[in-house]
Amino acid sequence: MIPPMPRSAYSTILIALAASAASAGTVAVPATPVSPYADTEAHAASLWAQTLSLCTPTNRHEVGCWIGLNTSSDTYSFTTTTIGPPTPNSYPSLIDLGNIPVDDPLFPKLSDGVAIYTVGSLHTHTPTTYREPDDPRIAGPSPNDQQNSLTLHMPGLVYDYEKPSSLTNGIPMGHPINAPARLYPTEKTTRRPYQ
């Protein structure tokens, strides 16, 4: 029996994952997962690939899911992928992942031995390839993403393009669709137990 870990540890693990991916630059998907956290990297990369495949000259979609952690297997799990609404080039994209999945059991006790917690959200941002020339947009979590994480007390991971080193402001419009991308974490957010 593996007791549930302190909940405060989860978001630290998840953000550490994203931070390590960020420091490594483009997230590589290993052929064989080298740690349980590689599952999250691989899933994020698959959502990014889906985002790129859904992008057309006229529409684009964010995609995302909730991330769960099973304390028995020490593995992450992912809810069914949500595909955001088709968004024309002149509008900012968005996604609604719906309600946070409740923990299982709802109020885990040490004697339960095992629990599945929701530990974060994951969503993609969209290519600017077909958007009209305009100001660059922020790379990584938007102000809304940061605020949502703080409000929900739920860390968020965002898959987005790397900021070109030649720019200070972020991702330019007309950016190549296959340009390097990576995971970014929201900041200063920790998972909080239910009250």
Q: Give contact residues for Zn ion (rule: CB under 5 A).
A: 142, 145
| Three-state DSSP class for residue 77 | strand
Q: With contact defined as beta carbons under 8 Å apart, do 69 and 116 qualify? A: yes
Enumerate residues 6+ apart whose C-beta is below 8 A from 111. Answer: none
Number of residue whose CB is nearest Zn ion: 145
Residue 76: CB minimum distance to Zn ion, A = 20
Residue 94: CB minimum distance to Zn ion, A = 7
Q: Which is nearer to Zn ion, 74 or 134 (CB)?
A: 134
Can you tell me the distance from the alpha carbon of 150 to that of 40, in angstroms, rounded to the nearest whole number? 21
Q: Which is nearer to Zn ion, 108 or 140 (CB)?
A: 140
Q: Which is nearer to Zn ion, 25 or 92 (CB)?
A: 92
Residue 60: CB minimum distance to Zn ion, A = 13
Phi-psi domain of 170 (left: phi exceeds 0; alpha: psi -120 through 50; beta: other): left
Of 141, 187, 189, the C-alpha closest to 163 is 141
Residue 92: CB minimum distance to Zn ion, A = 9
Q: Which is nearer to Zn ion, 41 or 145 (CB)?
A: 145
